[in-house]
Structure formats: C-alpha cells, structure tokens
Amino acid sequence: MSKADSVLFAGTGGLSQAVAAEIPGLYRYALTLVGDSLSAEWLVSDTISKAWEKSNTLKSQAGLRAWLHRILHNLAVDAARRTAREVSVSEVEDQWRDDTFSVDPEVVAEMAEDREELMDALFRLPFAYRSAVLLHDMEGWKLAEVAESLEISLSAAKQRLRRGRMMLVSALSESATRKASNVRAPLTCWEARSMVSDYLDGELSGTDMERRLVEHLSACTTCPPLYASLVGVKGSLSGMRDPDTVIPAEVLKRIHQAAERKVNFEDVGPRED
C-alpha cells in the first residue's frame, strides 16, 4: 500500500472517513448473513480489525468497499456451519428442471413481504449463494463487483445468483405450505413448544391445555419431531443414572481432605506473620 493510501486508516478514532462510510453497508450485509445484531456487530468489528492488519493488501481506495466486504465474508464463512435447515442446491435445481413444477406467485410475494419469513427463507440458502443474492439484489452491486468481492469468476457469480434466487423462491413457497398446514393447529408452535416440558412431566394432565397441546401435535408438521426428540433425550438422560455407582475411594478421600482443610482454615483464620 502506498503512503497516500495508508491515510485510509489514519483518520479520527483510528478510522478514516472512507472506511467509516462503509460501516453501515458492512453491518447491513453482516446482519443478513448471520441473523442477529450482536453477532453482526462483532463481525463488523472483526472486519475493521482484520482490515487494519491487512492494510498493505489494499491496492487502491477505489477497491475499498469490495475489499472490506470480502474480509467480512471470509470471516463469516470461517464461523459458519451448515445446518439441516439449508435447502439442497441439487434438489432445487432438479425441482426447477421439472416442467410440472411451479409456485403461486401471489403467495410467494406475500411471504417475501413478511420480513421474518423472508429472513427465514434467506437462512435456508447455503452461505455462498446467500452472499451472492444479498450483495446483488439487496445491496445493488454489479455482478462484476460481487465476483470480485467473493473472489470468484464472473460466470461463477452468475451461477450463484441464479441458483440462489431459485432456492429463495422455493424456500418461500415451502414456508407458505408449512404455514398453511399449521392453520388448523389450536396453538402457535412457540406456545406448544414452551409447554412440552410441563407435558412431559405430567403437569398438564387432565387440563384443557393438555388437550390443546395434543391437538396441536396431531395437526402440526414441525413440532412432533421436536417433541419426539425431547422424549428421547429425556429417556437417554434418565438411563445414565446408575444407582449402584460407587465413588472411588481415592476420590472420596480427596474430597474429605479438601473439605477438612477448608473447615480448619475458616475456624482458625489466616495465619498472622
């Protein structure tokens, strides 16, 4: 980096105006990548810190935005873990190749207007495709800028954008289907899930709430597997208890000795030199 360009990081408070001006965009990008404000704040902070460390790799001020977003993206990738909620790239591609496949555009548009539903659908996209869609369609970047920031070819960026958009529409359509199937449920999913522990412990026995919860579990498409998992984990934990377990003698001895030392110290008090 030239001496002139190093001024980027020498402004008020350790950040130049050029870098500070990019922070809102970095935060917005981070928030839609990781999903919560605290993680987004840490990600942006780490990005600025890493930018300081790597300042000699910035070729010119003109490439600052793409460079900062690339650093943030790479940091987020390092922390990302694939989850079962992510849609399958190959399955969606096969789905869209089927001439009989379609969706209701009005329903998808309605789901997309709901910020929570849109965010949920975005988080079903694999990280690499989510990044391309966010930078291009949310931030308004040109495809060449997306490719530069993600360090991929222009053709790869085009493919990620195409597939990402397909996956997003499919995810929104599937969310609408799940939502419609849960309309008959007498409780919201969160209401039902928050009562499952009481139900497992028999605290709802004979109550109207028990009836409503059972009705919800019979109608809902997503809660029964969660309930079954809770039952299974509880059973596994209870199976770990061995009433015949005997504490090893040497362990018991060390515990007694430690307790005696503590009692003696408290009775006598600290020694005065």
Output the pLDDT for position 240: 59
Query: Does 146 share its domain with 217?
Result: no
- pLDDT tens-digit profile of 101-138? 888 888 888 888 988 888 888 888 888 899 999 999 99
Tokens representing residue 255 in the block: 């515990």
Percent of the chain with pLDDT over 90: 14
Task: Give mean pLDDT, residues 214-237.
Answer: 81
**241 pLDDT tier (thresholds 50, 70, 90):** low
Task: Name the domain count of the chain.
Answer: 3
- Mean local confidence (pLDDT), 44-60: 81
Residues of the domain holding 50? 5-79
Say yes or no to pLDDT of 252 above 70.
no
Q: pLDDT per residue over 3-42, tens digit each? A: 444 545 554 444 567 788 888 888 888 888 887 777 888 8
- Evaluate whether residue 84 is within a structural domain: no
pLDDT at 40: 83
Q: Which of 139, 165, 181 is the last residue of a domain?
A: 181
Looking at residue 160, what is its pLDDT? 93
Q: Are 49 and 15 in contact (CB under 8 A)?
A: no
Residues ≥6 apart with Cβ < 8 Å to 46: 75
Pair 23, 75 in one domain: yes
pLDDT tens digits for range 57-93: 777 777 888 889 989 988 887 766 555 567 788 888 8
* Measured distance CA(175)–CA(120) in Å, rounded: 9
- 14 vs 249 pLDDT, higher one: 249
Q: What is the dihedral of CA 6, 7, 11, 13, to 10 degrees?
A: 10
Domain assignment present for residue 39? The answer is: yes
Q: Are 46 and 104 members of one domain?
A: no
